[in-house]
Structure 1
Amino acid sequence: MMQEVLIIEEENGVFTAVLNNPPMNTLHAELIDALADLIDTLSASSTTKALILTGSGEKAFAAGADINEFLTLDSARGREMSKKGQDIFDALSSLPFPVICALNGYTLGAGLELALATDIRIAEEQIKLGLPEVNLGIIPGYGGTQRLSRLIGIGKAKEFIFSGDYLNAEEALRLGVVEKVVPRGTACEAAKEFAQSLAKKPPLAIAGAKKAINQGIEISLSKGQELERKVFGELCDSEDAKEGANAFLEKRKPLFRGV
């Protein structure tokens, strides 16, 4: 029987996807394809509240791509492989609900690029993060050069990528690569707790905020504010906005329905 490379669990609309390619959970072609299928399925769902990504075991979240696959690459195949990974991670980033990464061990190369495509990263205290592709004579190819520089600034991203050095959890927190550090063995539980709290929020507002932030960072401030006005106006027409205001005035808990 073939190993299930992506283990999926669901609770109250919160999905947890466990990368299951032990011991290092390398992102080989089968696992990348499984992630793509999951993203396609959840993007078509109106009931998904959040997605959590984590790794199986205690050693790694995902320690990069499968190096054996690199041996067959030439220029054309390299571009094709890079585009496929970028497209999948872009689709993950564009999901209209929160995507949270629970980093439970080594998070390297494509594994870190996957984490950078999520909204929130919760790291256990023992983890190591890195983009060591330069040591293989290549560069990050799944969006790492672009997402990391937008996240921590061009200079720090160059220092990190040029050197191929690893960061520990506290360094990653200080630089803003992760949002929270938790004790060993607790990242997934912390992610689930946070995701369940977000699941009670109005889904249209969460989706709108995510759209405004993700798209706004790519354009000028004036264009970003124009986008914000558009999303704000659209939300003002929603039943959730009326419910939120009425619940506040009536001093009761709101019941958001995503309409």
Structure 2
Amino acid sequence: MWETIEVTKREHYAIVTLNRPDALNALSTQMAKDIIAVMDELSKDIDVWAVVLSGAGERAFCVGADLKERKSMTKDEMIRQRELFCDAFEAVVRFPKPIVAMVNGFAMGGGFEFALCCDMIVAAEEAFLGLPEVGLGIIPGGGGTQNLPRIIGKNKAKELIYTGRKISGQTAFEWGIANKVAPRGQLMEATADLIREITKNAPLALQQAKRCVDLGVEVDLTAGMALEAEAYNRCLYSKDRDEGLKAFNEKRKPNYQGR
């Protein structure tokens, strides 16, 4: 269905795989188009409550922009591609459902930024993550200068951005960039465990909780509390809320429907 992406659906979640392993899953023009289309489709799929974003093969999650593709592009073409890339990053960061990056190998430049656009990161111990853009005369352009400081603070973020240094999956975990770390052979299991822990909960509540956290950190506390109250009321009048309360009283597992 998509040229550069594979989508595999499991119970209540989908695995979105960047599928250009021969190019280390580098971000091409077509991949950006595919990411935008996939995120839009999955946002509307009521059977998908969460998403795992991964990279094909064992070597790389995504090594950033496909510089070979850019070699033959004019400046105008690069500018248009850049606008498309921004839309692709925006499609991930604004995805309304929980999305977890499963970083199996190199996540460099835009690849690292795609992971940072997700809600959480599960990294292989063997993975390497970095933002090397300043060494190419540019800066991170997929939210790296914005998302990374929000996760680890300004000084640590500046250290990684100014030096272009790569860090391991283990270091990413120790710095608070990755939520979990595992040997590569156990990475899928570790990620699936986290996703199952998430998707046992009510999907509408997950979406509203994500909305509150993502928007709330950008506003003052009073506005954030108002946002939370509005989101709470949306959940309160849902069928899932009724089911959750009924299941609790009946001491059974709830059967959520996302309504």
Give TM-score scaled by structure 2 length: 0.92
For structure 1, which runs of at least 5 residues remain unmatched after alignment?
none
Report if aligned partners of 2:35, 2:91 keep a CA contact under 8 Å in 1: no
Q: CA deviation at 1:11?
A: 1.6
Residue of structure 2 equivalent to 1:222:
222
Residue of structure 2 equivalent to 1:180:
180
Residue of structure 2 equivalent to 1:17:
16
Report if aligned partners of 1:102, 1:121 keep a CA contact under 8 Å in 2: yes
Q: CA deviation at 1:37?
A: 1.3
Provide, for residues 154-207 of structure 1, a one-character-per-residue CA deviation record: whole Å limited to 9, x for no partner.
121111101100111122112211100011222223222322332221011100
Whole-Å separation in 1 of the counterparts to 2:251 and 2:152: 41
Are 2:5 and 1:6 aligned? Answer: yes
Q: CA deviation at 1:39?
A: 0.9
Residue of structure 2 equivalent to 1:251:
251
Whole-Å separation in 2 of the counterparts to 1:177 and 1:70: 30
Whole-Å separation in 2 of the counterparts to 1:199 and 1:100: 12
Instruction: Answer with 161-170 or 40-49: which moved more.
Output: 40-49
Q: Which amino acid aligns with 1:129?
A: L
Q: Which amino acid aligns with 1:248?
A: F
Aligned residue pairs, count: 256
> Identity across aligned pairs (percent)?
37
Q: Which amino acid aligns with 2:230?
A: K
Inter-CA distance 256–155: structure 2 relative to 1 (3 Å threshold): same
Q: CA deviation at 1:128?
A: 0.7
Q: CA deviation at 1:62?
A: 0.7
Are 2:178 and 1:161 aligned? Answer: no
Are 2:229 and 1:232 aligned? Answer: no
Residue of structure 1 equivalent to 2:121:
121
Q: CA deviation at 1:219?
A: 1.1
Residue of structure 2 equivalent to 1:193:
193
Whole-Å separation in 2 of the counterparts to 1:243 and 1:13: 17
Inter-CA distance 159–77: structure 2 relative to 1 (3 Å threshold): farther
Provide, for residues 45-71 of structure 1, a one-character-per-residue CA deviation record: whole Å limited to 9, x for no partner.
222121111111111111111113444
Q: Which amino acid aligns with 1:217?
A: V
Inter-CA distance 83–215: structure 2 relative to 1 (3 Å threshold): farther
Are 2:37 and 1:37 aligned? Answer: yes
Instruction: Answer with 92-101 or 154-163: which moved more.
Output: 92-101
Q: CA deviation at 1:249?
A: 2.1
For structure 2, which runs of at least 5 residues remain unmatched after alignment?
none
Q: Which amino acid aligns with 2:114?
A: L
What RMSD in Å do the two structures reach over aligned CA positions?
A: 1.8
Residue of structure 1 equivalent to 2:95:
95
Report if aligned partners of 1:125, 1:170 keep a CA contact under 8 Å in 2: yes
Q: CA deviation at 1:131?
A: 0.3
Q: Which amino acid aligns with 1:126?
A: E
Q: CA deviation at 1:9?
A: 1.0
Instruction: Answer with 86-95 or 206-215: which moved more.
Output: 86-95
Give TM-score scaled by structure 1 length: 0.92
Residue of structure 2 equivalent to 1:143:
143
Report if aligned partners of 1:65, 1:109 keep a CA contact under 8 Å in 2: yes
Whole-Å separation in 2 of the counterparts to 1:191 and 1:220: 33
Q: CA deviation at 1:79?
A: 5.1
